[in-house]
Structure 1
Amino acid sequence: MAARIAKAIEHVEHPNCYLPTFLPHGSAGGVPRVAARQAVVVRFTEQETVTGLFSKDCILPCPFSPGDYEVIYWQKGDKIVHSYYDQSDQLERQDPDYRHRTHLFHENIPSGNASLKLSNLTVTDEGSYNCYVGTQQTKTEVEVMLHVRDQLSSVEGSSTAIPCEYSNNTTNNEGVSVVWTLNRNAVISVLASFNGTSHSYQPRVQINQNDFSLKLCDLTANDSGEYLCNISTPHYTKLTARTLQVACCGKGLNRWLLSVATNCPQN
């Protein structure tokens, strides 16, 4: 195996075939690429789309044709997400953002499964991922688009605060405009806005003028839905989506405690 890794890559002038071997460690991002002595079939698949929930785990699919000497390489842009060769994980050059958060299903690799489990999803995980798998027989490339949704849970009668992503690089809110809307069953309702001063257009809602989060008091099941925070500054515009699920019940002491925690008035 060591002799294979030491070889340089070779090419054949053919649109569908090449004769690669292994790149030495430290080349091509530190991940060896596999090839066979015979012509290799290059297999591309259509883009996959995966939606995960914030702080939860999700699986990015990457099927390939089983072969010998598997090399698996997951990448997001120029970030190395996960590498595997020599029948083990190779994480020395893994990007710090993914440390202790990635997992391959080693027992399923021989059968053609290079899917990656990504744990504790964050909003910054959203984007396009590329999976490269090389064996002596074939080379496969799969693109996976990951969408991350933030689902909040609460109970009827309680209160909550829905965050809005905002990078505050100034000491004041001059030039900042914020609009909160609710998308429920394809019906859009404007809840509140901020443009120097805050305005509420629905009962039980209020914008926090420090971080522009949305406070909701005395929740009901009808408050379930997708909340959108559209924030505009002289430098950028950003839309943040949060999903709120309100379950039944939650009266008495729990309601009082949550109302106090978010500074909401009690009925």
Structure 2
Amino acid sequence: MVMKSRMPALGVVLATFLWNLANGGDLDVWCRWNSSCVLEATYPAGDDLVVSWLRLSEEEATVHSFYDEADRLANQDRRFRGRTSLFKEKLREGNASLLLKNVVVGDEGSYRCAVATLASQSEFFFQLHVEAPVTIQIEELNKKLVCNSGESYPEPQLTWTTRPTLPLAILRGNVKVLQNETTLLYGVVGYVAIHAERDLEYVCDVNTTRTASRGTWRRTTLNISDTSKRIGCAPVTDESGLVWTFNTSEVIASRRAGQKYVVADAWAKYVEDLSEDGGIQLRDLTPDRSGEYTCVRRNASQTRVSVVFLRLAENGHPRAVRIELWVVIALLAVFLPCIIYCALKKCKRCRRDRKPRRSRRVL
């Protein structure tokens, strides 16, 4: 809440009371954890400026002070040392806003800014809240799906659902919430059993009082006998990034928002194209390329995972047949002349052995 006044002390008290009554409390300001945040305060410009920022708790703590044309930080609370500043070039224009750097969860609370000049007095009241956004990761582990929120704030809530819907008794999900003792950020992890016999998309929703994030996961199996195949990826709007992997760890191709996709060198001969909708066109596949192809696609509030188990038939595989045929031809080209030569030589020897031998007469 902001209150401005050019009245003397009694007028300031009355105006403050009326402002609080009309606006129902302090001005809520949300600051992102580990980032910089500005608490905005403007006043009627004047001479002999005095600015005092306080954190209101059981005992008032000095956040930042300015008077006699300079910062006065001798009494600054140690929790704010090196993390606060005013916009000096804007003070004469009537701007006493506070810049708070490297915001931590402990910064939450009520703040008061008092500004005085020869001509006026002003007061500003804030309720500072801290937020750390959820960053969902969802993956398979030991025949279970694991959904992880990363470190977030305020405390998140995690729920599992499926498409089509499975009853919760069958879904059998469980959730654990942990808090980092140093940062005070929360982490929530959800587990759910994978029902391989059902064609399901698993949905993990993680919500705080400020943000909502969703992760989805789906696996399908494709049996092919051709050497090329296009595999699709679940759609998202305003994509921030996409990654294709083989057997979970080997990167095939990736793409960042507004950039062209990059194909790993080892997969350049197999990737024909990565389309705008996230699908990947594969070519010249061989049976050793059978395995899990995973697409992870993200935006600011969503992570979608598409897993396709691609099984290439080895029998009747056209490329394999061509390779085997060339091997046979090469072997014949090398060994056939030797076989013919040996056969002819053997035949000559056989003919010689068949000729009758003349006996010698003994005199």
TM-score by length of 1: 0.54
Partner residue, 1:151? 133
Determine which of 89, 105, 111 is the counterpart of 2:71.
89
3-state secondary structure, aligned to 2:113: strand
Contact map agreement 1:152 1:245 (CA 8 A) in 2: no
Determine which of 86, 98, 102 is the counterpart of 1:120.
102
Letter of the aligned partner of 1:215 in structure 2?
V
Determine which of 154, 157, 160 is the counterpart of 1:181.
157
3-state secondary structure, aligned to 1:214: strand
Determine which of 70, 81, 87 is the counterpart of 1:105.
87
Letter of the aligned partner of 1:226 in structure 2?
N
Counterpart check, 1:17 vs 2:27: no
Contact map agreement 1:134 1:140 (CA 8 A) in 2: yes
Letter of the aligned partner of 1:252 in structure 2?
T
Assess, with a 3 A threshold, how the Cα gap between structure 1 residues 51 and 62 changes in structure 2: closer, same or farther.
same
Alignment of 1:46-65 (within 5 A): 47-65=26-44
Deviates more, 1:63-72 or 1:42-51: 42-51
Which structure: greater helix fraction? 2
Contact map agreement 2:135 2:213 (CA 8 A) in 1: yes
3-state secondary structure, aligned to 2:53: strand
Assess, with a 3 A threshold, how the Cα gap between structure 1 residues 123 and 208 changes in structure 2: closer, same or farther.
closer
1:58-110 per-position Cα deviation (integer Å, ceiling 9, x unaligned): 11011111000111000002110000111111111111111111110000010
Count of residues in Structure 1 that have an aligned counterpart in Structure 2: 184
Letter of the aligned partner of 2:106 in structure 1?
T
Partner residue, 2:242? 249
Determine which of 113, 121, 145 is the counterpart of 1:131.
113
Alignment of 1:26-37 (within 5 A): none
Alpha-carbon distance in 2 for matches of 1:133, 1:94: 17
- Which structure has the greater CA radius of gyration? 2
Alpha-carbon distance in 1 for matches of 2:247, 2:52: 48
Q: Show structure 1 runs of 5+ residues with no match.
A: 1-15, 19-39, 166-178, 183-188, 192-199, 229-240, 258-265
Contact map agreement 1:155 1:248 (CA 8 A) in 2: no
1:205-236 per-position Cα deviation (integer Å, ceiling 9, x unaligned): 64278978422579x996464247xxxxxxxx
Counterpart check, 1:214 vs 2:188: yes
Question: Identity of paired residues, percent?
Answer: 25
Letter of the aligned partner of 2:116 in structure 1?
G
Assess, with a 3 A threshold, how the Cα gap between structure 1 residues 243 and 119 changes in structure 2: closer, same or farther.
farther
Contact map agreement 2:134 2:149 (CA 8 A) in 1: no
1:98-126 per-position Cα deviation (integer Å, ceiling 9, x unaligned): 11111100000101100001111111111
3-state secondary structure, aligned to 2:115: strand
- Relative contact order, CA 8 A, sep 6+: which one is greater? 1
Q: CA deviation at 1:17?
A: 3.0
Assess, with a 3 A threshold, how the Cα gap between structure 1 residues 253 and 87 changes in structure 2: closer, same or farther.
farther
3-state secondary structure, aligned to 2:133: strand
Determine which of 42, 52, 61 is the counterpart of 1:79.
61
Alpha-carbon distance in 1 for matches of 2:179, 2:120: 55
Alpha-carbon distance in 1 for matches of 2:187, 2:43: 44
1:229-257 per-position Cα deviation (integer Å, ceiling 9, x unaligned): xxxxxxxxxxxx87657765345389659
Counterpart check, 1:140 vs 2:122: yes
RMSD of aligned Cα (Å): 4.4
Letter of the aligned partner of 1:74 in structure 2?
W
Assess, with a 3 A threshold, how the Cα gap between structure 1 residues 99 and 204 changes in structure 2: closer, same or farther.
farther
1:114-147 per-position Cα deviation (integer Å, ceiling 9, x unaligned): 0001111111111110000011111111101111
Contact map agreement 2:156 2:206 (CA 8 A) in 1: no
Alpha-carbon distance in 1 for matches of 2:244, 2:28: 40
1:184-204 per-position Cα deviation (integer Å, ceiling 9, x unaligned): xxxxx479xxxxxxxx99677
Contact map agreement 2:36 2:101 (CA 8 A) in 1: yes
3-state secondary structure, aligned to 2:112: strand
Q: Show structure 2 runs of 5+ residues with no match.
A: 1-6, 21-25, 140-145, 162-168, 181-185, 193-200, 216-239, 251-306, 310-363
Alpha-carbon distance in 1 for matches of 2:124, 2:55: 12
3-state secondary structure, aligned to 1:91: coil
